[in-house]
Amino acid sequence: MHREFYIGGQWVAPHSDRSHVVLDPSTGAPFATVSLADAQDVDRAVAAARAAWPDWAATSPRARRAVLTRIAEVYEARLEDLAQTISREVGAPIDLARKLHAPSGLRHTRDFIAALDDFPFEFPLRADTPNDMILRDPIGVAAMITPWNRPLNQIALKVIPALATGCTMVLKPSEIAPISAMMFAQILHDAGVPPGVFNLINGDGAGAGTALSAHPDVDMISFTGSTRAGIAISKNAAETVKRVQLELGGKGANIVFADADPDAVARGVQQCFKNSGQACNAPSRMLVERAAYDAAVDTARLIATTLTSGPADAPGNHIGPVVGRAQYDKVRRLIQSGLDQGARLIAGGPERPATLPEGGFYIQPTVFADVTPDMDIAKTEIFGPVLSVLPFDTEDQAIQIANDTPYGLTNFVQSRDREKCRRVARQLRSGMVELNGTTRAAGTPFGGMGHSGNGREAGIWGLEAYCEIKAISGW
């Protein structure tokens, strides 16, 4: 049982008697219970953050950097515990949890420490205006609502820059995967974060999430999750005119030209299925130039049929279950819609893998060919191990298909013609574009446009998100 909240520097009993049962996605069996905060719990957490803000905002960047360094040290000592917990609550295979999930929070912490070293909080407007000073002040109390698919990654992207800039905060992690967040709270406590600077409550979106987004003593809300929830949060926050930063869904296009490198298709398939397809920046639409289309379909079929599904505690490079019953039902429903709308199924399908535990939420790695842009599987963020392969004939047509979506998070381009890659990348409507399998460097801004959100996280952009700009004349 995990029924306590972290408020004001200590673990406290909740006011609410509502609770949520956390399931093990590999078996469908319960393994923990957390309390769900009500409005009084939210008020307590926000009040603690508000009371702690003046002193924390007055600390020097150097002092805050020292706190972040201690957080990194304590976090590193807990890596295996964090990996085991995330594997259990999210269903991530243990090797993936150790390699991707658990280290992400540590990596972001270290990256923000480096960014903080080059982030001035006071600077003149220009060299010729020494008496016009620009200040970056902490925005105040930030409320943070994070998702379940990569829990520590999103938590660190919000909490660490808020601490670095002098903000105080209330974190509400997803009730589907809350245990790793509670471990994170203990890490901050053990690292000496002052009481009230960081607070954690568990709760659902309709209850705690709504209360936080509308709270008059919250100056900013940072949300990562679905576009539907992001719209609701924006409406709730409008009455108090607080800053709203949203990192939402995606429907990334992976444009594979005929002159792409030989590994491009295989790389794209594997990236789509990473984390069981539960990633907002997954390349879930593969657009292939007609001359290379048949070969790409064959490669996608081979990769998908070679991959296996299995429980989270099994070692190896397999695909784990999706996170829960609602996600399982949604993904299978969309796979069926692909069949009903005439896409050609070349791997996987809606049937559960026969050899795996009956209670687990397992989806076969699934690939559809001959998909058209009007099909549901080409338009909807599936958030599961499902890839749609579409042909195109010209560069302009590829760009048009890629941009034919309300989302705009991450797109991908594969071609050995670097000028073509750059030309296409400039025309893609997305916050990020990855060329030829190149991953983003530390400090690269993460975020999108349109229905994918409106903010940027990581690096100096992540720090700026938690600052207000003040101009002082006559300094």
Contacts of 209 (CB under 8 A, 6+ apart): 145, 172, 203, 229, 233
Q: What angle do CA 299, 388, 421 make, to 5 degrees?
A: 75
The two tokens of residue 105 are 């929070």
CA 326 to mean position of chain CA atoms: 19
Q: Which residue has the tokens 């100096």?
A: 460
What is the C-alpha to C-alpha distance for residues 102 and 87, in angstroms, rounded to an integer? 9
Nearest to 252 by CA among 369, 127, 378, 126: 378
At 416, which amino acid appears? R
**Per-residue H/E/C for 80-116:** HHHHHHHHHHHCCCHHHHHHHHHHHHHHHHHHHHHHH
At 39, which amino acid appears? A
The two tokens of residue 292 are 């290379």
Q: Per-residue DSSP letters for 252-301? A: -EEEE-TTS-TTHHHHHHHHHHGGGG--TT---EEEEEHHHHHHHHHHHH
What is the C-alpha to C-alpha distance for residues 246 and 227, in angstroms, rounded to an integer? 9
At 188, which amino acid appears? L
| Catalytically active residues, by annotation | 247, 280
What is the C-alpha to C-alpha distance for residues 324 and 26, in angstroms, rounded to an integer? 9
Which strand ranges, in their side-by-side order, compose the sheet holding 122-124? 122-124, 132-138, 467-473
Strands 198-200 and 253-256, sheet pairing:
unpaired
DSSP 451: G
Question: Do 105 and 76 meet the contact criterion of CB atoms below 8 Å apart?
Answer: no
